[in-house]
């Protein structure tokens, strides 16, 4: 074990922009004092004080839309969450900046602010309208996770196991339009058939914002070695996910596994090392899924523990260059490549 300190890890988190590509914190925000992002809270994994303390320069905020029967209409729900994000930006008095690309992230980084970026988790929010995608873009949305776990108008999700279909005609149109607009096409949660079609179709790199390696933890939400190699070959990035069920094999299945059954930060680092050995570090990033998961690995209890992850990488002998590309450099590269200047 290399001799490094948590202070060195903290310094690395501040040396270059840290980017986390997925959280569901918008779903945890309510109205009224103390219910927003601005003050320290104990019922979430993320708030502004902890993002600032951990040195996170850019946080992607997902607008997750329920697709189960009885769920609120997806388009309206996404608009509610987008409005909640912009309200948080306004309430933060400059601490949280709404940004849409790399220049905004660097600006926030240099000014010691947190850049917030909007994504949709589930193309169901489009309700079948390409015009909705364009309108969401104008509202600042720069990424779309094409599906959640089940079927929507774009494609089958990864748990749609009895059909396992790929993209629909509308799904193809959405991926093509996202390429024209300059948005991140996110294949986390997507069926395998859909994954390979998107890789074929996308003009630029593709991301899996919050998925781990299936070879380390055999879960359908994680990516196979073949998927990881293909994603990397197109210049894409996958974000490490802290959901215990995706980190270490347990009985849990969904994104929101109720309990952590023994997953540790070390287990998550095993995923990182597997991917580095398989495809190189350039395809690795962070998409820790905070506030979309109800439990966390030991040692990575919330975003304030991010320096622990860095310390673990340093202890395993990875150098600062590897660490900073994983912490954010790779996602920034992809953002630029898809046109998110
Ligand atoms: Zn998710």
Residues contacting 339, CB < 8 A, separation 6+:
181, 182, 204
pLDDT digits (tens, 9 = 90+) for 71-84: 678 999 999 999 99
Compute the distance from residue 249 Cα to the ligand 1 centre, in Å. 18
- Between 247 and 255, the more confident residue is 247
**Rounded Cα gap, residues 126 and 58, in angstroms:** 25
pLDDT digits (tens, 9 = 90+) for 71-119: 678 999 999 999 999 999 999 999 999 999 999 999 999 999 999 999 9
**Rounded Cα gap, residues 115 and 103, in angstroms:** 10
Instruction: Quote the distance between the C-alpha of residue 232 and its chain's center.
Output: 17
Q: How many CB atoms lie within 10 A of CB 161?
A: 11
Average pLDDT, integer, range 251-260: 59
The reported pLDDT for the residue numbered 170 is: 98
Compute the distance from residue 157 Cα to the ligand 1 centre, in Å. 11
CA distances from 13 to 104, 271, 318 (A): 18, 20, 15
Please state, rounded to an integer, the average pLDDT across all residues of the chain: 94
Compute the distance from residue 210 Cα to the ligand 1 centre, in Å. 7
From the list 93, 149, 140, 101, the residue with the least C-alpha distance to 121 is 149
**Rounded Cα gap, residues 21 and 83, in angstroms:** 19
Compute the distance from residue 223 Cα to the ligand 1 centre, in Å. 14
Q: What string of DSSP letters covers 201-228?
A: H-SS--EETT--BTTTS--TTSBPHHHH
The reported pLDDT for the residue numbered 252 is: 58
The reported pLDDT for the residue numbered 253 is: 57
Q: What angle do CA 280, 231, 121 make, to 5 degrees?
A: 120
pLDDT of 63 above 80: yes
pLDDT of 273 above 90: yes
Pairing, β 114-121 against β 237-240: unpaired
Compute the distance from residue 148 Cα to the ligand 1 centre, in Å. 7
Residue 262 pLDDT class (50, 70, 90 cuts): confident
Contact 310, 269 (CB under 8 A): no
Compute the distance from residue 268 Cα to the ligand 1 centre, in Å. 17
Average pLDDT, integer, range 168-191: 98
Average pLDDT, integer, range 234-256: 84
Average pLDDT, integer, range 208-228: 97
Compute the distance from residue 296 Cα to the ligand 1 centre, in Å. 14
219-223, 261-265, 332-336: segment of lowest average pLDDT = 261-265
Predicted structure pTM score: 0.96
Average pLDDT, integer, range 273-297: 97
Compute the distance from residue 124 Cα to the ligand 1 centre, in Å. 14
pLDDT of 203 above 90: no
**Rounded Cα gap, residues 269 and 133, in angstroms:** 36
The reported pLDDT for the residue numbered 35 is: 83
Compute the distance from residue 189 Cα to the ligand 1 centre, in Å. 7
Compute the distance from residue 292 Cα to the ligand 1 centre, in Å. 7
Instruction: Quote the distance between the C-alpha of residue 100 and its chain's center.
Output: 15
Contact 286, 250 (CB under 8 A): no
pLDDT digits (tens, 9 = 90+) for 26-50: 999 976 667 899 999 899 999 999 9
Compute the distance from residue 5 Cα to the ligand 1 centre, in Å. 33
Compute the distance from residue 100 Cα to the ligand 1 centre, in Å. 21
pLDDT of 258 above 70: no
The reported pLDDT for the residue numbered 67 is: 75
Residues contacting 158, CB < 8 A, separation 6+:
147, 149, 189, 190, 191, 192, 220, 221
pLDDT digits (tens, 9 = 90+) for 305-319: 999 999 999 999 999
CA distances from 249 to 175, 220, 221, 274 (A): 32, 11, 12, 16
pLDDT of 249 above 90: no
Which runs of consecutive H residues, i.e. helices, occur in the chain? 6-15, 48-54, 74-91, 102-111, 130-138, 169-181, 192-201, 225-233, 244-247, 265-279, 306-315, 320-324, 330-337
Compute the distance from residue 211 Cα to the ligand 1 centre, in Å. 9
């Amino acid at each position: 074990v290399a001799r490094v300190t948590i202070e060195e890890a903290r310094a690395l988190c501040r040396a270059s922009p840290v980017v986390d590509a997925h959280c569901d914190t918008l779903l945890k925000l309510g109205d009224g004092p103390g219910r927003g992002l601005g003050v320290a809270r104990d019922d979430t994994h993320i708030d502004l004080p902890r993002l600032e303390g951990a040195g996170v320069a850019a946080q992607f905020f997902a607008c997750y839309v329920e697709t189960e029967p009885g769920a609120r209409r997806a388009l309206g729900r996404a608009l509610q969450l987008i409005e909640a994000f912009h309200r948080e930006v306004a309430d933060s008095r400059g601490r949280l900046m709404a940004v849409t690309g790399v220049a905004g992230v660097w600006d926030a980084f240099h000014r010691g602010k947190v850049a917030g970026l909007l994504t949709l988790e589930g193309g169901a929010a489009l309700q079948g309208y390409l015009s909705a995608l364009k309108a969401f873009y104008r509202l600042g949305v720069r990424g779309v996770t094409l599906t959640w776990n089940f079927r929507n108008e774009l494609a089958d999700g990864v748990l749609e196991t009895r059909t396992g279909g790929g993209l629909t005609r509308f799904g193809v149109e959405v991926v093509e339009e996202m390429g024209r607009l300059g948005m991140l096409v996110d294949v986390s949660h997507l069926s395998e058939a859909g994954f390979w079609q998107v890789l074929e179709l996308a003009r630029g790199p593709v991301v899996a914002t919050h998925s781990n390696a299936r070879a380390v933890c055999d879960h359908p939400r994680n990516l196979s070695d073949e998927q990881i190699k293909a994603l990397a070959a197109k210049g894409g990035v996958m974000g490490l996910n802290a959901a215990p069920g995706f980190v270490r094999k347990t009985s849990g299945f969904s994104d929101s596994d109720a309990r952590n059954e023994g997953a540790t930060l070390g287990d998550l680092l095993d995923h990182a090392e597997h991917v580095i050995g398989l495809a190189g570090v350039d395809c690795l990033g962070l998409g820790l899924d905070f506030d979309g998961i109800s439990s966390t690995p030991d040692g990575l209890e919330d975003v304030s523990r991010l320096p622990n992850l860095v310390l673990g990488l340093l202890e395993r002998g990875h150098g600062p260059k590897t660490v900073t590309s994983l912490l954010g450099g790779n996602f920034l590269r992809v953002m630029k490549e898809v046109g998110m200047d």
